[in-house]
Amino acid sequence: MSTAAVSLSSGELKARCPRSLLDLGSDPMPTAGVDGLIPVLLTWSGSRIQSVRATSEATGLVLPRLVEPHAHLDKAFSWTEHPNLQGTYEQALAANFREHETRTAAKVEQRGERCLQLAWQHGLRAVRSHIDSLGPGANFSWEVLADLSNNWRERIELQLVALVPIEHWSTAEGEHLAAAVAKVDGLIGGVLAPPCRGRATRRALRRLLELADRHGCPVDLHIDEAASQPAEGVRQLLHVLESMTVSVPVTCSHASSLSLLSAGALQRLAARMARQNLRVVALPLTNGWLLGHRDNETPLRRPLAPIRQLQRAGIAVAVGGDNVQDPWYPGGQLDPLALMAMSLPLAQLAPWDDDGLKPFGTDATGLMGLDWDGRLRAGAPADLIHLPGGSWPELLSMASRRRVLAGGHWVQDWA
């Protein structure tokens, strides 16, 4: 390798880093300020961090490249053609079905590529996308996004979840789909929203879990995205899990209606969820927009996964952005900093507390099963987001300004 090549991929940075995203190895961890930030000097060589040391002073903020645990690339940017002006769950579903009729391979490829470009510029290193995997366009959507996943592998890890009604996994086509999912290390998904059909729902869930286990595919369900019948889906899932052994990780995305339970009922349910090692992805933006929607009324209660209560029970909770300008939510741009800035107030999470940051950091990476937990340490990937402001208010109010280091190279300058 030439000297020029070595110098191109080496560098250093002095900035403040959240305590929970740092691993100083055998060096003692200095006491962080009340904002939970510690000034560090980072050096890297090639694609790896060489050293991370506490230093006396630093300006600017440094984070690892972040992750998006729940997105829908196949329907991204479809709001303009298929708006949901009433803003309800039912109308979103109806518009989604109409959009599905017009879906083409070219459209899905264009949407996926545009999403990944945004994710790359904004400093994401992994994205989990659910894909509508039944009905018109299902086959080519899966193939197109599997190809994209392959093309982007060096820059962004794209995880694919097959999203179908849970009963589909009990059919012969469901068997074929599971084999196709396993081939690309994908995940088994499904929708479990009230009203649940008692025994029939549990039978379908058992079949889904057996299939996932047999193929070694993790499970990620859309569950209890509702403003009524609190936790109906999670209760059915627990009923099944408590009578069988499942070795693959199971994630509950949304879990919104759990917040409508009484404090005691929630505590008991969360303890059962923790015993089954369930993980949760909270989706504050889409659910804040969609659930409990009534004409001419501001909702008095907002169904949103009760993040802190679940954490207290020992459950890993990640926060995701969900939709990107589609009938379910007109905003969204695969920007982890904008997601933080918008969800921290909705969920009342404090980024200076370790538990407030985990849903965007180590709990999100753990839930996605990534090799690197996202903590900055010697030997970790040289993958950073560098922000000019050195404080949380600056990050939260100027979320768009950043530069991004990936594999030891600045790939996005201040923007």
Applying CB under 5 A, the residues found at the interface with Zn ion are 322
User: What's the closest the beta carbon of residue 3 comes to Zn ion, in angstroms?
Assistant: 49
* Strands 37-45 and 48-54, sheet pairing: antiparallel
Nearer to Zn ion, 74 or 322 (CB): 322
Closest C-alpha among 392, 304, 411 to residue 353: 392
Nearer to Zn ion, 20 or 96 (CB): 96
Nearer to Zn ion, 92 or 340 (CB): 92
User: What's the closest the beta carbon of residue 401 comes to Zn ion, in angstroms?
Assistant: 29
Query: Quick one: how far is CA 369 from the chain centroid?
Result: 12
**Residue written as tokens 């920007």?**
335
User: What's the closest the beta carbon of residue 72 comes to Zn ion, in angstroms?
Assistant: 6
User: What's the closest the beta carbon of residue 288 comes to Zn ion, in angstroms?
Assistant: 14
With CB atoms as reference, the residue minimizing the distance to Zn ion is 322
User: What's the closest the beta carbon of residue 82 comes to Zn ion, in angstroms?
Assistant: 16
Neighbours of 154 (CB within 10 A): 8
User: What's the closest the beta carbon of residue 265 comes to Zn ion, in angstroms?
Assistant: 25
Nearer to Zn ion, 322 or 363 (CB): 322
User: What's the closest the beta carbon of residue 74 comes to Zn ion, in angstroms?
Assistant: 11
| 195 Cβ neighbours under 8 A, 6+ residues apart | 229, 232
User: What's the closest the beta carbon of residue 191 comes to Zn ion, in angstroms?
Assistant: 9
As a whole number of angstroms, the distance between CA 268 and CA 254 comes to: 19
Which element (helix H / strand E) includes 284?
Answer: helix 284-290
Nearer to Zn ion, 99 or 383 (CB): 99
Q: How many residues does the chain have?
A: 415
Are the C-beta atoms of 320 and 286 separated by less than 8 Å? Answer: no
As a whole number of angstroms, the distance between CA 82 and CA 215 comes to: 36
Strand partners, 187: 161
Nearer to Zn ion, 89 or 392 (CB): 89
In degrees and rounded to multiples of 5, residue 95 shows phi and psi of -65, -40
User: What's the closest the beta carbon of residue 56 comes to Zn ion, in angstroms?
Assistant: 45
Tell me how many degrees the CA angle 43-365-376 measures, rounded to the nearest 5. 15
User: What's the closest the beta carbon of residue 130 comes to Zn ion, in angstroms?
Assistant: 5
Nearer to Zn ion, 232 or 322 (CB): 322
As a whole number of angstroms, the distance between CA 219 and CA 139 comes to: 20
Nearer to Zn ion, 19 or 130 (CB): 130
CB burial of 301-324 (b: ≥16 within 10 Å; e: otherwise) equals ebbbbbbebbbebebbbbbbbbbb
Nearer to Zn ion, 335 or 383 (CB): 335
As a whole number of angstroms, the distance between CA 161 and CA 150 comes to: 15
As a whole number of angstroms, the distance between CA 319 and CA 71 comes to: 11
Helices and strands, counts by H and E, the chain: 14, 15
Nearer to Zn ion, 44 or 329 (CB): 329
Tell me how many degrees the CA angle 408-377-385 measures, rounded to the nearest 5. 50
